[in-house]
Every structure is written in C-alpha cells, then in structure tokens.
Amino acid sequence: MSRWDALGAAGEALAHAKLKETLEWLCGSDYYLHEGPLVVEHAPGTTFSTAEIDHLAVTPFGIFIFETKNWSGRISPSSAQGMLTRVAGNGQAEDRRSPLYQNRTKVAFFRSRLPANWPITGAGLFTSPEAQLDPRLNANLLSLADIPQWLRTRRDAYAGLLPIDITRAAAAIALYSESSPAALEAHKRRVKV
C-alpha cells in the first residue's frame, strides 16, 4: 500500500467512526451505515462505467453519500469548475477535484432509481485535523467536527414527513451496488487505466 493509499484509508476510517458515532446519537439504532466502500455501475457501456462510494448512510430523514478527502492545508473555492484550491503549509497552491463534483454522478444515479420522496444528498468530508475550510465553500463540504450539526439540520428540515424505511432503502441500494473486494478491485483497475 502506498503512502497516499494509507493516508486515504486512515481518513476513511476516521470518517466512518465519526459518522457512526453521530448517527447513533441522532437516530439510536434506526439507521444504516454501510461498512466499507460501495461500487455502483452508474454509466454502463462507458469507459468509466463504475464509481466508488466511500460512505453511504440511510437515515429516517435522508440518504447520504460521502466522498472522503484526507487533505491538509487551506481548502478554498477555485475559479475552475468542479475544483477546489488546496494551499499547502509551504504556500504551494494546487487545484484538486472537489468531492462534491466527484459525488454528482453517484447522487444522480440513486436519485434516478430510488423513490423521489427519499432525499439523497452528497457531501465531502475532510478528515485531516490540518484542513482549514474556507467559509466560502459550499455548505456540503465538511470537516469531521461539522458532521453532527450538518446532519441535525437535515433531520430538522425533514421533520413532519414520512420517515424513510431503513430496511427497504438499504435493500434498494443493495440492488444497484456491490461491496465485494472483487468489484472494488475491478473498479480500481479501470480507474488506473
């Protein structure tokens, strides 16, 4: 495993733990948090037909797809579409693809296949304690510390509507996704090519 893969895996573990802690606090046991990544075939017949979902949560008030980044430094909006600017500690700036941009096809895929009354939201999670998020960033770009308030806000916005049936929603998502090591490895091979 490369250094970058190890950093990414560490960030994803932190994100999973914080999501689990927050969902238990908000929902008790009435939620589903997928353990590990999911692969969806969102664009059959194309070069990049599959996409990887880092974290997927189903709650009574929404379905949430999270893209995790373990970036450090200052993260701010970029003038380039679909990008964010990261400024490292040494002052070097570089544009990187926004996790919201990466999530857009995954969110659209599930919105097109699941009931329209189930809200589906994508978010980007920055897991490094050295990440400094610019206040001009989209509200769906979060640090780990932002997760509880962000989810509470979504819960409150959904208040009074029919709760999502967690078991039914998780089963529906499973119809369109794979979590086997073989599916994940095949996806990673396609992306590297």
pTM, whole model, 2 decimals? 0.91
pLDDT at 160: 92
pLDDT at 44: 73
Mean per-residue pLDDT, 125-148: 97
- Residue 146 DSSP symbol: G
Name which of 20, 14, 110 is nearest 69 in CA terms: 14
Tell me which of 46-60, 78-92, 125-139, 141-155 is least confident: 46-60
Element (H, E) at 142: strand 141-143
Mean per-residue pLDDT, 152-179: 94
| Percent of the chain with pLDDT strictly greater than 90 | 75
